[in-house]
Homo-oligomer: A and B are copies of this chain.
């Protein structure tokens, strides 16, 4: 556990795909859906949200689409999470919650958990979409891989 939502997971996949294929190129939701096997409506939903923030730039109309609003190296994973899931905090009281922790007095945990939380945030801020798109683990060019069937939403199996 300690998990991102699937939407955020998808977002990272989509953004890294865009980042890998040139930051200035334009992608339609339909195209991205085809390439990732993520259901189109889901892709739309996510891209719309990323478009409202300053992460993606959208162009409407025929031959429209989305492209990165900034350089891939300037969009951190933490920012993606923040956009789609709100402030990063592993517990309710470890963030800058406006609602006071109900356990406050019996909870000496918070100060320590804030340190943990900080460590997590630092780790996530230290990684950009550019990093995600271009893994440095002796990456030969991304081999096409054998799984070509639409694995998500596949009706058959």
Residues of A within 8 A of B (CB): 1-6, 8-9, 12-13, 16-17, 20, 35-38, 77, 81, 85-92, 102-109, 111-113, 115-116, 119-120, 123-124, 127, 131-133, 135, 137, 139, 142, 144-148, 151-152
A116: chain B residues within 8 A (beta carbon): 77, 123-124, 127
Closest residue of chain B to A144 (Cβ to Cβ) is B105
19 A-B pairs with C-beta separation under 8 A? A1-B5, A1-B86, A1-B89, A2-B85, A2-B89, A3-B90, A12-B91, A13-B107, A37-B106, A104-B151, A105-B145, A105-B147, A108-B139, A112-B127, A112-B132, A115-B127, A116-B123, A119-B119, A119-B123
A100 to chain B, nearest CB (A): 8
Are A13 and B120 CB-contacts (below 8 A) given A2-B85, A3-B90, A88-B2? no
A127: chain B residues within 8 A (beta carbon): 112, 115-116
A109 touches B35 (CB 8 A): no
B145 touches A108 (CB 8 A): no
Cα A37 to Cα B105 with chains together (Å):
10
A20: chain B residues within 8 A (beta carbon): 108
A5: chain B residues within 8 A (beta carbon): 1
Closest residue of chain B to A87 (Cβ to Cβ) is B1
Closest residue of chain B to A133 (Cβ to Cβ) is B108
A124: chain B residues within 8 A (beta carbon): 116
Cα A3 to Cα B1 with chains together (Å):
9
A151 touches B2 (CB 8 A): no
Cα A35 to Cα B127 with chains together (Å):
41
